[in-house]
Structure 1
Amino acid sequence: MHLKRMVYCCIWLAGIFTATTARAQQSARITQSWEFLKGDLGGIWEAVRPVTEGSPESVPLWEKVVLPHCFNARDAVDPDVNYYQGPGWYRTLMDIRNPYDQGRTLLHFEGAGQKTTVYVYTTKVATHTGGYDEWTADITDAVQAFLQSPAAKPFSGKVPVSIRCDNSRDLEMIPSNMSDFNVYGGLYRDVNIVYTPALSFTDFQIQAQTDAAGKTANLTIYSGFLNPQHITAATLELRITDPQHKVVQTLQVPVKPAEGIQQLAGISLTKPMLWSPEHPALYTIEATLLSAAGKAVWRGQTGFRHAAFVPHGPFVLNGKRLLLKGTHRHEDHAGVAAAMTTDMIRQEMLSIKAMGANFIRLGHYQQSRTVLEMCDSLGILVWEEIPWCRGGLGGEVYREQARRMLTNMIYQHRHHPAVILWGLGNENDWPGDFTTFDKQQIHDFMVELNTLAHRLDSTRKTAIRRCDFCKDAVDVYSPSIWAGWYRGRYTEYKQESLREIAAVPHFFHAEWGADSHQGRYAEKPEQFIQQIATGKGADERTGDFARTGGNARASKDGDWSESYAVNLVDWHLKEQETMPQLTGSAYWIFKDFSTPLRPDNPVPYVNQKGIVARDGTPKEIYYVFQSYWATAPMIHIYGHAWPVRWGKAGEAKEIRVYANCPTAELFVNGKSVGIRQRNLQDFPAAGLRWEVPLQTGENHIKVVGRNGKQTYSDEVTWHYQTEEWTRPVKLVVEKVSEGNDTALVKVKALDAKGILCLDAAQQVAFTIAGKGMLIDNQGTAGGSRKVQLANGQASIRVVLHGEKSMLAVTAARMATGWVAL
């Protein structure tokens, strides 16, 4: 590998401090010793007064918390209340010890929702609007002033820091509260304390480019500087390491720190190791800034790849067609809402990769740096966007936030090779926040954002989803195609896609899928399908998400079973294999998430289109995706969470297997019922299906897949019910298991003869008396105190607290069920 130096300096754009600098210096996460108050204070003095006055009283009462922390960890999916939107306070005492002579002390926020104010003692030091971009508060001067004041004496050398977060509704702030997700509040991403020398990097940026053939590449280094002492001379040292950990270049150049962002160095290289989903090759860049103030260091990674969208044709990476196989994610998880830990995020991203995805759209805002780092290292291409989502277009304050968040997103994430698209908006054709809805103004502002994005980063394309009157304002457009859910039938997917591919220069299909209530199955999930009109389009229109009124559609008239979702996904993936001009698609969404717009869903306030549940538990469609996309061998009998199947005695029942093995042999109750050959165009299950009578009672099902000499197997046990049931009239509750002071409780809906009603779908409500506590407000089928039955059953877990309790389950027109715990 040969590198040629091209060293130069020039002024670029006015800069801001970004997260990457937090790694450059001495930094640490601040997770412990925080207190939280839900609600507002009369003033900052109330946060510090108890310590100052030495009073044992602290009114109001503060709660001890660990960061990251979200106001709405539980109430976002509480079936009985609107989630809290308002102010909340955090406070802590920091032991600040900056090792640098005349250095700077910074608080770096990886994301805080949605408007944030930072105080040192009673001094306001910083404010920020925007819940998703990273930002920094320089607390140096306020800390020094406090420590030198008489007010510091009661604090024994520690510094009181208080932070007010506020997610109150505000029409002049993005995202709109009309968005189909919660606008969370709190310090829900990491907060870091950072110590820097008096001269250090801000906005350190890397731009990596390569030509289509991958023969040459360019690496350009930019940075701004934190330089309160106005130091005029420094030296930049660069050390570049290739993916095999070999140092390929060292470089030393003089730097004259100035205002704004400077282009510090440019390096060209030949025959770079290219980054791709199959081989996510990453180069490591270490930059050291030497000056009279000391040494500041930035260390990060980047990669080289060439991405292109062929007009009316496929996506090309490094000169070869790549079908983008994708999904979406929200930063949301059971029990914590937006406050996902690094380990939670990593586990989710590993699950996405194991499914076989090579693309993800981050909906609908800049996401945690951990997500982008995982995408880089795993080989998952990214569409990342700002939260201009629904509602219309506000005034100058609104627009300036959009510009700032776009700038921050690009500055902070441009070095990630995984990112191929900057998203400028989502569903901007959805009115409602303002008295006027001016399409021309929205179009003009979209053009402005597009121009800004290309000025900040000329190497990537821009994109939006679902705003037809703005489709010419960006590079890549995703129209609304929800065949089989909000409009039309899923068999219309291909014709709708081909029509849209021809209509725009660069097409991508973001958002398709179906809601499914985990654990709900159907022997005949498409009995309603004849009600659905064909040839009327497959887009989603305002109000189609509602479960009442309007045209017949699967989202309103279907059963919301995993069975229907499996059929829809299977068909879409089959068809995608037959469209060589398709760039790709992204299923909405990888994981169920909370939303204030869907209180009447089977799990209240949860969008249930996830491939996995809100706690990460896979639904059946996860294995359908794996069977098409995963390279590692897999085999899965459809219906692991379907404990009871039903039908007439002797009736043949379909048994499906989703696998990527060429052949599979099925065994029912120990006997082989035949070998099937896998054929992707043989719908459903790529031909791996059998029609077999099941015996009344227990049935053991096993499949053995073969790939050359290797075999892979899966097995499941089903109960087959042949008794017919009538209307459910009573609920029967039983404790299924107990351990570690926790019990699993299940309820069943029975008819007058005591037969399980396998189509019962009524909502049931769990209540408890005693010291036991429901593990509820999780946003899952097994973690909500109000939830619809799935095949006549539902469950919940209870923390017993070592004592007896009584649990009751109620439902309309059914006798209450009870169980002693």
Structure 2
Amino acid sequence: MKILLKYFPLLLILLLLLAAQQSQAQSRTKTNFGSDWEFKREKNNSSNWEKISIPHTAKIEPLVVNNQFQGNCWYQKTFSKKLSKHEKAFLYFEGVMQQAEVWINDSKLVRHQGGYLPFTIDLTPFLNQNKKATVKVKVNNEDNPNFLPGKPLKDLDFNYYGGIYRNVHLITTSKLYITDAVAANKMASGGLYVNFENATKKEASGTIQVHLKNEFPSDKKTSLQFILKDKYGNKTNYKSEEFILKTNSDTAFTQKIVIQNPHLWSIHNPHLYELEVQVLTDNKVTDSQFEKIGIRKSELKEDGYYLNDEKLFISGTNQHQEYPYLGYALSDEAQFRDAVKIKNAGFDFVRMSHYPHAEAFLSACDSLGILVMNSLTGWQFFGNETFQQNAYQDLRDMARRDRNHPSIIFWEASLNETRMSNAFMEKATQIIKEELPFDHNYTACWLDNANYDLFIPARQHGKAPHYWNNYKKGNRKIFIAEYGDWEYYAQNAGFNQTDFADLKENERTSRQLRADGEKRLLQQAYNFQEASNSNRKGKNTIGEANWLMFDYNRGYSSDLESSGISDIFRIPKFAHFFYQSQRDADIVLNKPLQSGPMVYIANYWTPESTLKITVFSNCDEVILYLNDKVFGKQKPFVDANSNNLTHPPFIFQLDAFKAGTLRAEGLIKGKKVTDFAVTTPQKPTQIKLTYDLSGQVINPSNPDMVFVYAKITDTNGTVIPNTTDKIQFELIEGNAKLIGENPVKAEAGIATVLLKTENNKKTIKIRASGEGLTSDILLITKN
């Protein structure tokens, strides 16, 4: 005991030093600032504030949005944050739709215009150790032609929902700190900028640029430590020489890096490294920042697109970032779930339609192996000089925010379907080249303009039946940025007019709801198949993105745009399985992704069903059984509308309907590897509740939202595809809300409600009931 007491002072000093070092090492904090806000809309004519959390939408809208809320709303939050004399504090807004004015303690600090990109506020002068601070944000989402998208909502092909709809973070740093890339407003600088100019399986080399700012009242002797760690825990370390950073100055430091035998990022193995950059002052860590990065080589060559020196025909889709009812106000987890669905549909690419999407969505694409075309906000609108200057700034902010994402391979530095001036297009491409001054950062435009690296027309911008297949302009490459919708909706598509001459107008289109039935969902899938097959005939075509992944709302239309291969509730249509079948069976993806052999019967097998059975599969052969008796064995059906597909569909022609079960077995090299069955539905008797996580558990603390599905089935569990019974959802237990119509009519046998959670620490219990149906109870247990 005496010995311990003797050394106690020394131990205490060591512990205090260790604590001080840990405190210094953790000097940068990033805290979700989304709780404990108050909100009101001006049009309410009420002074009452509603308690809310962020992300938040200014108004819960109906499923089909008409007369969407546009106007002013207010957010406020009172908080306390103690800072030492060595610290700074910032508020980082990921996205506010679409004009934000921010006050701190009644001092107006900023007015930010544009709803899809972030901005930062320096709180430091307003935080007093003995007083609370109040932040107020006035948000307006009315039409404004001076910033993007500019076009009035009533004429727009998508919606911009008001509110602080993306995350807000409170960030604290030392007064010598790594800046934010957007807030720094430095060309090709600010924050962290990582680039690998060379990347092969043997070696990768490049640079890490760090932008520092010193707001201490004295000069600081500084050095930087770079730690790059792969997913297996292997580390590569670099440390700079010491340098002097003068008071109230900033500098950009560049570190060259070389990695032997790197793990390359790819669509099937999206390996991510964790980069930590430490700022050391007096040999102590005074700031640090983490970023996940990927090492890959993306290249346009004379004969096509190459990823890591392997030629790739890019198969992808378009996506709007909205949910039903909540609009844009999605959690990071919901963003991840959407990315999972895109990958599970067989796609390896997504185009950001028609604006920069959430940071969490891009991070999900990084982790899941989804290539991205990042896009400037715009659609069919070219504004005045003020509008154009704001577009230029948006391009810079987009490049600075997103430049470290390995998933981004193309930059759509143009306004979609807009007749822009040549001067604007020249300036737009110049900006991207200035901000991303390295090889293989490719610009894209829907116009065939020489300022851009890649031509990205929609299929319908060409003429049937060949569209862009005969396009040839030197070695210029073309990517079909949209296809499968408008050309069929406008009935100028190149499909077989003889075979489909008897189709009605609404049967030809790709805009089909799940409620529209088997015949029309098959037609949608066929349209996508035919167009995709045709796109592959173009010698200079490097890829395609169908229109589109999920159904969505539009400002100018009173109905849902329903050409999604899944509906707005993320329930797949037949076309989903056509695309899923185009991924090779030998590709293995990490969970939660689906991969490997698949087979799917696009038929409900009812007395009204077609006897021409379409089966989507990536197998060599398919055997079809009817009530356990072999009907036939087929190889893929190859004709002029499937001869360029990786995996054409399988077609079986039955002679007559017989109630029971159709079962398809997929064979590879003569061996059964998978199967799928559909059974004739009987009388509806019960409800079966499910919910969708897509590999991402519900956030236990922050707001999250998941879809809850009530499937109306017979006693065998078969969904009744033509029932529209009303289903009543009831939240029995749990810290959550049910959002949406309730009771709600089922669509094609499934009724859906949105479950929004917060502080999800306990079990959630939901009951669904309907007249004449056995009810069901769903338990969602805490994570």
TM-score (norm 2): 0.75
Which whole-Å deviations, capped at 9, do the CAs of 1:767-802 have from their partners, x for residues lacking one? 99xx99x98867xxx9988x9x87xx9967799x99
Closer/same/farther in 2, CA of residues 159 and 356 from structure 1, 3 Å limit: same
Q: 1:776, 1:783 within 8 Å by CA — same for their partners in 2?
A: no
Q: Is the 8 A contact 2:508 2:523 kept in 1?
A: no
- AA of the residue aligned to 1:244: Y
Q: Cα 1:230–1:215, aligned 2, differ >3 Å: closer, same or farther?
A: farther
Structure 1 residues 777 and 83, CA, compared in 2 at 3 Å: closer, same or farther?
farther
- d(CA) in 2 for partners of 1:682, 1:406: 42
Q: Does 1:628 align with 2:612?
A: no
CA contact (8 A) 2:98 2:114 kept: yes
Q: Indicate whether 1:89 and 2:66 are aligned.
A: no
**Cross-structure match for 1:595:** 554
Q: Counterparts of 1:516 and 1:337 in 2: how far apart (Å)?
A: 28
Q: What is the CA–CA distance in structure 2 between the aligned matches of 1:589 and 1:525, rounded to whole Å? A: 22
The offset of 1:584, in angstroms, is: 0.7
Instruction: Number of aligned residue pairs: give it.
Output: 667
Identity of aligned residues (%): 20
SS for the counterpart of 2:433 is helix
What are the ranges of 5 or more consecutive residues in structure 1 without an aligned counterpart?
1-21, 43-58, 153-157, 431-438, 518-523, 533-546, 722-733, 747-755, 808-821
Aligned pairs for 1:222-621 (under 5 A) are: 222-229=209-216, 231-233=218-220, 234-257=222-245, 259=249, 262-291=252-281, 295-311=286-302, 313-396=303-386, 398-429=387-418, 442-458=421-437, 459-468=439-448, 471-482=449-460, 492=465, 495-502=466-473, 505-514=476-485, 529-530=500-501, 554=509, 561-575=520-534, 581-599=540-558, 604=559, 606-621=560-575
C-alpha deviations, 1:710-744, integer Å up to 9, x for none? 531111123599xxxxxxxxxxxx9964989x996
Equivalent position of 1:183 in the other structure: 160
The equivalent of 1:18 in structure 2 is none
CA contact (8 A) 2:30 2:172 kept: yes
TM-superposition CA deviations, 1:171-222 (whole Å, max 9, x none): 1110133431112211111111111111111132233224375655333222
Q: State whether residues 515 and 610 of structure 1, in contact with CA within 8 Å, keep that contact through their aligned partners in structure 2.
A: no
Aligned partner (choices 37, 42, 50) of residue 39 of structure 1 = 42
Q: Distance in 2 between matches of 1:74 and 1:579?
A: 43
Question: 2-side partners of 1:719 and 1:309: how far apart?
Answer: 51
Cα 1:355–1:253, aligned 2, differ >3 Å: closer, same or farther? Answer: farther
Cα deviation digits, residues 351-406 of structure 1 (max 9, x gap): 2222232221112222222122222222221110221332113223x223212221
- State whether structure 2 residue 648 is matched by structure 1 residue 686: yes
Name the structure 2 match of 1:11: none
Which letter does structure 1 place at the counterpart of 2:164? L
Match of 2:29 among 11, 16, 26: 26
AA aligned to 1:639 is A
1:651-704 Cα distance to aligned partner (Å, 9 max, x none): x811111111212111112211011123666866825221113436x3321111
Instruction: Name the amino acid aligned to 1:582.
Output: T
Q: Give, in whole Å, the separation in 2 of the partners of 1:195 and 1:306.
A: 35
1:585-638 residue CA offsets vs partner (Å, 9 max, x unmatched):
111221222211221xxxx2x221212222221111111001012532343433
Structure 1 residues 555 and 24: alpha-carbon distance in aligned structure 2, compared to 1, 3 A threshold: farther
1:160 is the counterpart of 2:137: no
> Structure 2 counterpart of 1:402, which letter?
A
Letter aligned with residue 443 of structure 2:
A
Q: CA RMSD in A?
A: 4.3
Residue type matched to 2:617 in 1?
A
2:99–2:111 CA contact under 8 A, matched in 1 = yes
Counterpart of 2:450 in 1: which secondary structure?
coil
Greater alpha carbon shift after TM alignment, 563-572 vs 187-196: 563-572
Of 641, 664, 667, the residue aligned with 1:706 is 667
Does 2:602 match 1:639? yes
Deviates further, 64-73 or 456-465: 456-465
Q: Distance in 2 between matches of 1:190 and 1:662?
A: 47
Which residue of the partner structure matches residue 705 of structure 2?
Answer: none
TM-score (norm 1): 0.72
Contact 2:623/2:666 (CA < 8 Å) preserved in 1?
A: yes
Look up the match of 1:656. 614
Whole-angstrom distance in 2 between the partners of 1:501 and 1:187: 46
Contact 1:73 1:338 (8 Å CA) reproduced: no
Alignment match of 1:198 (pick from 175, 181, 189): 175
Q: Which amino acid in the other structure matches residue 651 of structure 2?
A: R
Could you tell me which residue of structure 2 aligns to residue 64 of structure 1?
A: 51
CA distance in structure 2 between the aligned counterparts of 1:737 and 1:804, rounded to whole angstroms? 7
**Post-superposition offset of 1:160:** 2.4
Say whether the 8 Å CA contact 1:219–1:266 is kept in structure 2: yes
Give the corresponding residue for 1:133. 117
Please give the alpha-carbon distance, in whole angstroms, between the structure 2 residues aligned to 1:97 and 1:390: 48
Q: CA deviation at 1:97?
A: 3.3
Deviation at 1:298, TM superposition (A): 0.8
Aligned partner (choices 100, 103, 109) of residue 87 of structure 2:
103
Looking at structure 1, the residues matched to 754 and 538 of structure 2 have their Cα atoms a distance apart, in angstroms, of 50
SS in 1 for 2:613: strand
Looking at structure 2, the residues matched to 216 and 73 of structure 1 have their Cα atoms a distance apart, in angstroms, of 52
Q: Is the 8 A contact 1:115 1:167 kept in 2?
A: yes
CA contact (8 A) 1:237 1:288 kept: yes
- The 1:250/1:659 distance shift into structure 2, 3 A limit, reads same
Cα distance in 2 for residues equivalent to 1:706 and 1:446: 51
Q: For each residue in 1:56-104, what CA deviation from the matched residue of structure 2 results, as whole angstroms up to 9, or x when unmatched?
A: xxx52222222211124425x445x410111111122223234x44311
- The 1:578–1:251 alpha-carbon spacing in structure 2 relative to 1, beyond 3 Å, is same
